[in-house]
Structures are given as structure tokens and as C-alpha cells.
Structure 1
């Protein structure tokens, strides 16, 4: 049975490896500072957080902070576990008290600490692991940091520039609190990668409806069966959280014809994929056979065009086709006068027809489309994927404003 700690109390640790985690309370990010006897990090490499999840002896993953004492450098005297509210405006006093725990490598919880008495704090040093001779001990800290997260890490010797402050302002949308800790961590890391791209392209804070179009032709069978398409949906959700007012993805499947499916939300994304990503049969009243098994892009493109009344990012995933070059080119010229940017993503190595020549398409008031192909999207990092996915969208926003397409 876990031993309960109270604020200020310490206890010895005999396990060579432990996992620090925090549950309950408001949604929060976990990080760690590895400091010397001076209370400072040796370099920025001793700061473990979502974008730098590992330092010597310490690793951040879905389970929490994994600490292997034998691998911690001898100069490190303390490891401070920090929790930071995930959403701007939240505080730890606005929900039930968070509970910090220390477990051994086998998952047995050794100590628990209910961090009570919190009020307006948004940053709290939860626990501290520290050396006493040859032994490591844990101390229940539960101390808020009035200056905020940037001041905390700066006071510990970490260099903070303007970009991390901006990235820390990523949007939180309804439903995130319902996710497990591990899923929130993954979502948060992806949201920050999306935000970085938008910051780099001077488009952070831009708002747009996000429409996801997915190919369901027979040639996609292997990707559906392997779960590739399911993972595509999961990776597109963070884009919607940062661009769409409601943080939702509007979704279509297409082949010879198309179907508009229910919107994809943060909380329901996984269940949505299992419910609606099919090639055949009837599911939730949708006849997937009737959509067809071969591709014709014109009906789905026309359907999306007919909905365009506000800034929109269309994310169009396909494994090839687009044989009707003249008709598709005409639609893209028409769509250039409307408030949407079309980002086409090729899956695999098939012939993508007119998509490969979109940049050369004349007769458009603005360049309203981009295309890139990926042999295996699962092998592309989130940073690279979002960089390519959103690389041209900010340029279109500026061009569309200049052309009077957007206000």
C-alpha cells in the first residue's frame, strides 16, 4: 500500500528506477528540472518537457517521468517535477487537488502526495527527488511559483526566448480533459508542433474552418486495414484545435461519390475512426458500397466548394487518380475566388495526375492549392508533417486578404 506524504515530508527510495506521475485536478503538463547543488541546470539539456522529453537518467512519456538513478549524472543533486496547467486561464485551485505519486519500475505505487491548499497557482513544483549521500529520497513540495512557468525555468538557469512563450499559448478545446493523461500528452505535443509552424509563418492565432477529405477507393484497402488512415485522422485533430473556433474537423469520405460524416471532436476522435472508417458494408446508417470503389474527385470537390463561406483549410488525402485534368483545373480556378486553401496529400507512390502540376496552374487569382506525396506517412515525424501540411496555408491567407477574398 502506498505511503501518504504531506507537504514538506520526505522518504527514502530503495528502488533503482521510479516513475513520477500526477493525476486528477485540471489538465496539466509535466516537466522536470535536473539541477546541481546551486539549484541551477548545467545547460538547457537538463530541462525535460514535451519538446525535449529526455535527459540523462530522466525520460518523459505517457506514464510520467521515468527516472533511472544509476544514469543520473553525479553533478545532479535534485530532480524537480513541475506541473503546469495546460489551458491559459486555468488554475490548480479550480478543480480537485492533483495527486502526485512515485511508483517503482514494476508499477507498484510507493508514495502518494495529495497537493492540497492550491488556489490561483498555475505552476507548481510537485515533488523533488534529491541525493543524501548514496541514497535518493523524495520530498513532497507542492509549492506554487508566482512568476509563472517562464520565470520558474529561467530562475533555474534555463534560457527562454520569445518562441516558447508563444507556443505555450496553444489553444485548448472542449473535450481534452476527458482524455487519458497519455493521450493528453500526445495531443499537447502535437498541438505545439502545429503552433510552431504557425508562429514561424507569422500566422499564429489565425482562424479557419478545417475540412478533412479521405479517399475510400479500393486501392486504399491496405491503409485502412493497417490503421494508417485511423492514424491520419488522429494527427489531423491537433490542426483543427489550433485553427477552428470549435476545434472540430468536418469530415468526408469519397470515391465515385461521397458522404459527409459527423464532425470529429477531440474527445471522440478515436471512436469516430472505428465507427466511420470503412470501405464496404453499412455502418451507422451509411452505405459504404454506394460510395463506390473507384475515384472521381469532381463530386466531392464540388460539394466542398458549395460550402465555402468562411476561411477554410481543406486537407485532402488520396492515394492517386485525379485523371480528369481539365475539369479539376477548372474547379480549382473557380475555387481560387473563394475563401479556401486546398492542401492535397498523396499517400503512397501512385500517379497523382494534375496534383503534381498545381503550382503551374494558370488563370487563378491566387495560388489556392498545394500538394506533396509521402511514401509512408507513418514514418514522417509530427514536426515534418505539420511543416509540410501548413507550409503554404499562411501564404495563401495573406494573398487572399490582398486580393479581397478574405477580409
Structure 2
């Protein structure tokens, strides 16, 4: 179903510049006619409180939903909230998207824990048999408990038609190669052992075979808010296809829209191709 600009102008005019910017990104990747199911997953752990209070989550959600509305099959984005539990919140479209975050905060008190495995399990249960690709926008502020369970779920999901775009809100921007780098660690020296690593892993110089490398340790120590786990998902082995990507933003409101949409489409098109080749789609 095509999202008509006239409808946007009438129902949510503030989304128009975001729609136009994200539409250019989709066209660049030849995805202007793409159809998928889009899901938003929001971290409601207690550590997220200041990000909700400063409305940074609201800003990021508005920008990412503007992209999702354009290729979601019915222009209604499914929403899941999680802390120590996962909650199926419901659907939001252009008529009511502005109330999404506040609705969640009213219905679900912030929880004292962060467990990625719970929403990942819900995603697999709900969309594992989808006949459309499932594009997940996953917003968090840092690390997870039960890392092994989360890794196991993501490996299991690699055989399902689900791609997870992890998005962090942190004290600094963490960009993959090819994007402007603000307060991002410089690449590792050329003398470091060459391994096949993901874009962010290569950028930050982590994921090398030497677990006690001083260079590796220095770079890992500069990652904010326990994001090492999400960075290393880009290099995680044992998956049928690479089904996840990660970036983090310091300030979603001021981050350029065109670059944000470039980040959101950084690996998803490659996953579509790999999933088709692997007969997942």
C-alpha cells in the first residue's frame, strides 16, 4: 500500500520532510516499491528514564516510523516494549504515532532490568512464519542481561524472515564506515591481525583473535554504556545469514535525517538479498 503525500500532509504534516528524506533513501536502494512488516521495539528499562524525560526516544521514534510507514504492508507499525518482560503494545499509524511513546509509559512502568532475549523471542513467535520480510527497529540505551540467551535467540532468528536494526541512544555517535564520525574511535592500525568483521567492528578495531590485545582493550573501554555486546553482534558466528546491525546516536533530534535513513538502510538491503539466496524469503 503506497503512502500518499496528500494523506500525510492532511493527517501528519510534521512528517512530510521526514517522509521525503527517507523516500530518497529507499529509492537509492531500489526499495521504493518494497513491502514488509515493520516492528518497533522499545526498551522500557529504568535506565531509559532520562531519555524519555528529554524526549530523545520520542524524536528517534518519529524519525524511524516515518521510514517504516512507507513500506509497511498496512502502514500500521507493530510495537513491542520490554524491560525484564516483553509486552505486545499494539499498532500505530500516521493518525496516532505521536502518542505511541507516551501511551507505553502510561501502560507499562519502567522495569528494573534489560533482557533482549524476551522481545527477540516474541518477535520469533509472532513473525517467524511471516510471508513478508520483517524489519525491526530496536531502540535501547545499552547492554542486556542474559547475553547468551540473547545471542542464542538471534542465531535462531537468522533462519526466519526477520532483520533487527538495533539503535542505541548514548553519550556519543557510533557510526559504521562511510558515515561522518563524531567522537568515534579511530580504526585499528594496519598491523592488527586481519579477520572478517562487521563494519562497526572494523571501525572500532574489536573482534580480533587476540583477547588481551592492548589496542583492543583500549578501544573497547571507550565504548559508552556497555554497547560492546551490540557492536559484536555484527561479528557473531553461527547464523544462517547476518540478520542484525547496530548504530548509536548522541542526539536523535539534531542528527541529519538523510544520514539517519542511510544508517537504517545500511545492511537491510544486503540482508534481503542474502535471505532470498538462503531461501528464507
TM-score normalized by the length of structure 1: 0.52
Write the distance in 2 (CA, Å) between the matches of 1:197 and 1:339: 22
User: Is there any run of 5+ residues in structure 1 with no aligned partner, and where?
Assistant: 1-169
Write the distance in 1 (CA, Å) between the matches of 2:9 and 2:29: 29
Write the distance in 1 (CA, Å) between the matches of 2:263 and 2:154: 20
Determine if the alignment matches structure 1 residue 218 to structure 2 residue 93: no
Residue aligning to 1:313: 135
User: Is there any run of 5+ residues in structure 2 with no aligned partner, and where?
Assistant: 171-223
Residue aligning to 1:115: none
Equivalent in 156, 181, 204 of residue 334 of structure 1: 156
Equivalent in 8, 31, 38 of residue 176 of structure 1: 8
With over 3 angstroms needed to count, the CA separation of the structure-2 counterparts of 1:201 and 1:178, relative to structure 1, is closer
Deviation at 1:326, TM superposition (A): 2.1
Residue aligning to 2:273: 398
Deviation at 1:188, TM superposition (A): 2.3
Write the distance in 2 (CA, Å) between the matches of 1:323 and 1:354: 10
Write the distance in 1 (CA, Å) between the matches of 2:238 and 2:90: 35
Write the distance in 2 (CA, Å) between the matches of 1:353 and 1:325: 11
Contact 1:214 1:318 in 2 (8 A): yes
With over 3 angstroms needed to count, the CA separation of the structure-2 counterparts of 1:255 and 1:173, relative to structure 1, is farther
Write the distance in 1 (CA, Å) between the matches of 2:261 and 2:24: 9
Deviation at 1:322, TM superposition (A): 2.1
Structure 2 matches for 1:224-373, cutoff 5 A?
224-274=52-102, 276-278=103-105, 283=106, 286=107, 288-289=108-109, 292-308=111-127, 309=130, 310-348=132-170, 349-373=224-248
Write the distance in 1 (CA, Å) between the matches of 2:5 and 2:80: 22
Contact 1:322 1:352 in 2 (8 A): no
Summarize deviations over 1:215-239 as a string: whole Å, max 9, x none.
1111111111111112222112211
Considering fraction of residues, name the structure with more helix. Answer: 2
Write the distance in 1 (CA, Å) between the matches of 2:76 and 2:280: 24
Q: When the two structures are aligned, how many residues end up with a matched partner?
A: 225
Summarize deviations over 1:210-263 as a string: whole Å, max 9, x none.
000011111111111111112222112211221112112111111000211121
Contact 1:210 1:240 in 2 (8 A): yes
Deviation at 1:405, TM superposition (A): 0.6
Summarize deviations over 1:53-100 as a string: whole Å, max 9, x none.
xxxxxxxxxxxxxxxxxxxxxxxxxxxxxxxxxxxxxxxxxxxxxxxx
Contact 2:8 2:16 in 1 (8 A): no
- The structure that has the greater radius of gyration is 1
Considering fraction of residues, name the structure with more strand. Answer: 1
Summarize deviations over 1:297-343 as a string: whole Å, max 9, x none.
11111011111223100110000122433222211111000001110
Q: Please give the secondary structure, in 2, of the residue aligned with 1:378.
A: coil
Summarize deviations over 1:3-44 as a string: whole Å, max 9, x none.
xxxxxxxxxxxxxxxxxxxxxxxxxxxxxxxxxxxxxxxxxx
Q: Which has the higher contact order (CA 8 A, sep 6+)?
A: 2
With over 3 angstroms needed to count, the CA separation of the structure-2 counterparts of 1:173 and 1:273, relative to structure 1, is farther
Contact 1:325 1:353 in 2 (8 A): no
Residue aligning to 1:376: 251
Deviation at 1:209, TM superposition (A): 0.5
Deviation at 1:174, TM superposition (A): 9.6
Deviation at 1:399, TM superposition (A): 0.9
Equivalent in 4, 8, 16 of residue 188 of structure 1: 16
Deviation at 1:351, TM superposition (A): 0.8
With over 3 angstroms needed to count, the CA separation of the structure-2 counterparts of 1:400 and 1:174, relative to structure 1, is farther
Q: Please give the secondary structure, in 1, of the residue aligned with 2:253.
A: helix
